[in-house]
């Protein structure tokens, strides 16, 4: 294969990519092409199949395949001789990843990253898989052998290639035909999802499902709603226990804050070490809810830990937040930055502090790494008070714990730090804006709200166009990637939360414009939202992207269709505009019909359906002075599944319940708690606000 640059070999085309994942492959001996029409045109001219690799900078096995398989000379030779190689960053091109995950899964039953696909020059999958070692191993065929066999099949048995591609297409068509033909009643849909969530609950370790165990923050929010709307104490208990077990486990970074992606075991002890922005934003919002609902200090501590990691590690000096932090530092590394040997802990701490830490963090127990049992993931095995028993620490256990964590943080800071992907994506930033707005309000911390504002202001200034929406990616060359559903939904939802928390109307107009765009441009079959709006999309118009795709299931973070319904409902309650509630209901009906037996993975849509039947709440603090401040703080820390808080009468276009809007103003220091369009008697005791918000739960929503 001839090169487009004289004397250039390997992945030189990726060297100036905006993706750190693609740039990291520029020195490989593979003749990589970035996603676009050029490699498909080349494949047609040369009559060769395409090798498609989809991965991400945070993906451990992507690095393993890059460092082993794609650095192998024989693999490079086979690819140069027989294939056109294309490399895609799934964070930069989620619409590409979404379609090829479905195609490979339809063919092989597996998916994930790295995604390895063999395509016809028209972009159709005919073979695929995930990770392949260079030679036979890990229970998988070696990539040298795979490439040689695919090249032989392409030349000698083209009918099999065609049959496989047709089989993928037929499988996808059968999936479409299995869609439910009738729309279930909202209560029936919600009850079915509730039953599935409860059935998947792990009564031993909490959380949902078995190993590998992912966090499902939307399922936690659904259980909290269920406890409120249906008077289900078991749902509240399961939500609380799940939040506690995750926060105490090794999936939560006990030293640096923030959550790793998932736990490889059922007990939350050993994580897969990458830290994802989208996961931490969702978990931050869930822990704010948990802290409000249960007044659990551990949850507030976790909120502060996530916020600290987000601001300190992902924060961009110009505003906004990066996408992720890698799991590893170098080839062969497997979480060494995040784990500790006994010797490392002894060197970092005084003798009694080491004994305290070893007890508290379960050193030498279930957190030992399988590949190196000397290394330990720190998780909270016992509380500080129990760990301190019999030790001479010279301070209260909680103070000792804080001192130990700070010392370990200082020591860890001297280690080589895993790569941070600083790419600025609108969907991830939208999720962070909303979560940080909630956290800033709950903690009464204006600095956190300032960070959310800076992110929103930067993206509105640099990536937002009223007629096109918000671009997916913001970089030095400007915005790109218009027309993707998740960006519009997540960013609009973030703006709605920020507008309501700050009572700043600046953020309302773009939120409304974005959600109007969603409602108008992204409607597909039966009114369900598709992931790409053809009129707005500015990516390569390749045949592979022509088929509509509908993000319906949580994966495990909130699906875009569920996110849109929730954003519609939050905007309706903020502006007291029932048009948006009606839009949510019209969307949720076909979504419920399509989700069928999705169960746990329909949590977001079930939550939206439940909220559509639940009265929203508004709390207005009147008067000024210390007592009014106490009332406001109590309201910030109280929980309701759909509540807004204002200090006095907010500016237009925010709207108060009719009863309150018609009442005369007062200088009295009091809280007015309103549900829907009516208000309860005024509250003057801060301790009564939480119970007042709970009072319209199961009784009003049997």
Task: Name which of 5-19, 595-609, 655-669 the model is least confident about.
Answer: 655-669
Task: Give kind and range of the element (H or E) at residue 674.
Answer: strand 670-675
Distance CA 611, CA 694 (A): 15
Q: What is the pLDDT of residue 480?
A: 95
CA distances in angstroms from 169 to 164, 571, 594, listed in the order given: 9, 39, 19
Residue 269 is classified by DSSP as: -
677 or 24, which is more confident: 24
pLDDT digits (tens, 9 = 90+) for 240-265: 999 999 999 999 999 999 999 999 99
Q: Please, are residues 671 and 620 in contact by the beta-carbon 8 Å criterion?
A: yes
Question: Could you give phi then psi for residue 552, rounded to 5 degrees?
Answer: -110, -40
Mean pLDDT of the chain: 94
Checking if the pLDDT of 664 tops 70, the result is no
Kindly report, residue by residue over 202-253, the tens digit of the pLDDT: 999 999 999 999 999 999 999 999 999 999 999 999 999 999 999 999 999 9
- Cα distances from 148 to residues 77, 114, 304, in angstroms, run 11, 20, 53
Three-class secondary structure of residue 586 per DSSP:
helix
Q: Do 415 and 265 contact (CB within 8 A), yes or no? A: no
How many residues comprise the chain? 702
Q: Where are the beta strands (DSSP E) in 3-94?
A: 32-34, 50-55, 84-89
Distance from CA of residue 480 to its chain's centroid?
21
Per-residue pLDDT band for 698 (boundaries 50, 70, 90) equals: confident
pLDDT at position 8 = 55
Strand-pairing partners, residue 618, are 644, 674
Q: How many CB atoms lie within 10 A of CB 18?
A: 16
Give percent above pLDDT 90 in the chain: 86
Which residues have C-beta within 8 Å of that of residue 231, sequence separation ≥ 6? Answer: 697, 698
631 pLDDT more than 60: yes
Q: CA separation (Å) from 582 to 140, 181, 552, 612, 685?
A: 51, 22, 19, 9, 36
Q: How confident is the model at residue 298 (pLDDT cuts 50, 70, 90)?
A: very high
Kindly report, residue by residue over 347-397, the tens digit of the pLDDT: 999 999 999 999 999 999 999 999 899 999 999 999 999 999 999 998 899
Q: Is the pLDDT of residue 623 over 80?
A: yes
- In this predicted structure, the answer to whether residue 54 has a pLDDT above a threshold of 80 is yes
Count of CA atoms in the C-beta half-sphere (13 A) of 47 = 3
Model confidence at 700, pLDDT cuts 50, 70, 90, reads very low
Q: What is the third-level CATH fold of 617-694?
A: Glutaredoxin (3.40.30)
Quote the CA–CA distance of 495 and 489 in Å, as a whole number: 10
Q: Are 510 and 458 in contact (CB under 8 A)?
A: no
Do the first three CATH levels of 12-177 and 617-694 match, i.e. the same topology?
Answer: yes
Residues 271-287, mean pLDDT to the nearest whole number: 97
The pTM for the full model equals 0.96
Give the Cα separation of 291 and 287 in Å (integer).
6
Give the helix/strand (H/E) hosting 54.
strand 50-55
Sequence ranges of the domains in the chain? 12-177, 328-417, 617-694
pLDDT above 70 covers what percent of the chain? 97
Residue with token string 């004397």: 7
Taking residues 84-99, what's their average pLDDT?
Answer: 97
| 620 SS3 class | strand
Q: pLDDT at position 556, please?
A: 86
CATH number of the 12-177 domain: 3.40.30.10
pLDDT band at 663 (very low <50, low <70, confident <90, very high): low
Cβ-contact 657, 605 below 8 angstroms? no
Looking at residue 516, its pLDDT comes to: 98
pLDDT above 80 (res 137)? no
Q: Within its chain, how far is the Cα of 192 from the centroid?
A: 24
Distance in Å from the first CA to the final CA of the chain: 69
User: Which 8-state DSSP code applies to residue 482?
Assistant: -
Residue 613: which pLDDT band, with cuts at 50, 70 and 90? Answer: very high
Q: What is the DSSP string of 115-148?
A: EEEEE-TTS-EEEEES---SSSBTTB--HHHHHH
- Burial-class residue 236 by CB neighbours within 10 Å (0-12, 13-18, 19+): middle
| pLDDT at 2 (0 to 100) | 40
pLDDT tens per residue across span 471-518: 999 998 899 999 999 999 999 999 999 999 999 999 999 999 999 999
pLDDT 10s digits, 309-318: 999 999 999 9
Mean pLDDT on 141-150:
96
- In angstroms, the CA 515 to CA 134 distance is 47
Q: For 432-453, write each residue's pLDDT tens digit.
A: 999 999 999 999 999 999 999 9
Contacts of 546 (CB under 8 A, 6+ apart): none
Judged against a pLDDT cut of 80, whether residue 701 lies above it is answered with no
pLDDT tens digits, 533-586: 999 999 988 888 888 999 999 988 899 999 999 999 999 999 999 999 999 999
Tens-place pLDDT, residues 146-194: 999 999 999 999 999 999 999 988 888 887 766 656 788 899 999 999 9
Q: What is the pLDDT of residue 662?
A: 57
Tokens matching residue 536: 């707005």
């Amino acid at each position: 294969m001839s090169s487009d640059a004289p004397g250039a070999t390997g992945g030189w085309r990726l060297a100036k990519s905006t993706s750190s994942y693609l740039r990291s492959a520029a020195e490989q001996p593979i003749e990589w092409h970035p996603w676009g029409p050029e490699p498909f045109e080349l494949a047609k001219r040369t009559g060769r199949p395409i090798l498609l690799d989809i991965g991400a900078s945070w993906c451990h096995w992507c690095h393993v395949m890059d460092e082993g398989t794609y650095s192998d000379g024989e693999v490079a030779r086979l690819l140069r001789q027989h294939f056109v190689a294309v490399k895609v960053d799934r964070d930069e091109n989620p619409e590409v990843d979404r379609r090829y995950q479905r195609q490979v899964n339809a063919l092989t039953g597996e998916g994930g990253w790295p995604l390895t696909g063999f395509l016809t020059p028209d972009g159709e999958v005919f073979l695929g898989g995930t990770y392949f070692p260079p030679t036979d191993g890990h229970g998988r065929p070696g990539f040298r052998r795979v490439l040689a066999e695919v090249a032989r099949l392409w030349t000698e048995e083209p009918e099999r290639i065609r049959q496989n591609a047709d089989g993928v297409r037929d499988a996808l068509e059968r999936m479409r035909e299995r869609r439910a033909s009738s729309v279930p009643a909202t209560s029936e849909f919600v009850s079915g999802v509730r039953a599935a969530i409860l059935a998947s609950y792990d009564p031993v370790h909490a959380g949902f499902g078995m190993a590998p165990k992912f966090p499902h923050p939307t399922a936690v929010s659904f259980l909290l709603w269920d406890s409120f709307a249906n008077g289900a104490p078991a749902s509240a208990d399961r939500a609380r226990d799940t939040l506690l077990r995750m926060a105490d486990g090794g999936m939560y970074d006990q030293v640096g804050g923030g959550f790793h992606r998932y736990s490889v075991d059922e007990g939350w002890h050993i994580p897969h070490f990458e830290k994802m922005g989208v996961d931490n934003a969702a978990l931050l919002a869930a822990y704010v809810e948990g802290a409000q609902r249960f007044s659990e200090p551990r949850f507030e501590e976790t909120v502060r830990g996530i916020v600290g990691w987000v601001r300190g590690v992902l924060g961009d000096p110009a505003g906004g937040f990066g996408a992720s932090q890698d799991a590893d530092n170098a080839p062969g590394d497997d979480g060494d930055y995040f784990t500790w040997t006994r010797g490392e802990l002894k060197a970092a701490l005084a003798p009694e502090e080491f004994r305290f830490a070893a007890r508290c963090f379960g050193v030498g127990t279930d957190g030992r790494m399988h590949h190196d049992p000397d290394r330990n993931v720190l998780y909270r095995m016992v509380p500080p008070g129990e760990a301190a028993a019999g030790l001479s620490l010279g301070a209260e256990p909680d103070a000792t714990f804080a001192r130990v964590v700070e010392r370990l943080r200082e020591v860890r800071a001297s280690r080589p730090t895993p790569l941070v992907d600083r790419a600025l994506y609108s969907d991830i930033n939208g999720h962070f804006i909303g979560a940080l707005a909630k956290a800033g309000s709950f903690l009464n911390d204006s600095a956190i709200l300032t960070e959310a504002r800076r992110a929103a202001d930067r993206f509105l200034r640099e990536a937002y166009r009223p007629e096109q929406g918000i671009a997916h990616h913001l970089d030095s060359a400007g915005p790109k990637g218009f027309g993707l559903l998740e960006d519009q939904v997540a960013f609009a939802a973030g703006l709605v939360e920020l507008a309501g928390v700050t009572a700043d109307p600046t953020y309302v107009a773009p939120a409304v414009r974005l959600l109007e765009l969603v409602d108008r441009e992204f409607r597909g079959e039966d009114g369900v939202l598709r992931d790409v709006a053809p009129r707005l999309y500015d990516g390569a118009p390749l045949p592979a992207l022509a088929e509509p795709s509908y993000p319906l299931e949580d994966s495990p973070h909130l699906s875009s269709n569920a996110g849109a319904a929730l954003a519609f409902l939050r905007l309706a309650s903020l502006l007291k505009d029932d048009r948006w509630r009606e839009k949510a209901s019209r969307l949720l009906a076909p979504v419920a019909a399509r989700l069928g037996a999705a169960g746990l993975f329909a949590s977001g849509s079930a939550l939206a359906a439940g909220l559509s039947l639940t009265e929203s709440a508004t709390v207005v603090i009147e008067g000024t002075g210390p007592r009014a401040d106490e009332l406001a703080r109590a309201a910030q820390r109280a929980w309701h599944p759909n509540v807004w808080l204002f200090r006095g009468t907010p500016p237009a276009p925010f709207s108060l319940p009719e009863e309150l809007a018609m009442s005369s103003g007062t200088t009295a220091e009091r809280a007015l708690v309103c549900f829907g369009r009516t208000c309860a008697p005024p509250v003057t005791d801060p301790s009564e606000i939480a119970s007042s918000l709970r009072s319209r739960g199961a009784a009003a929503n049997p």
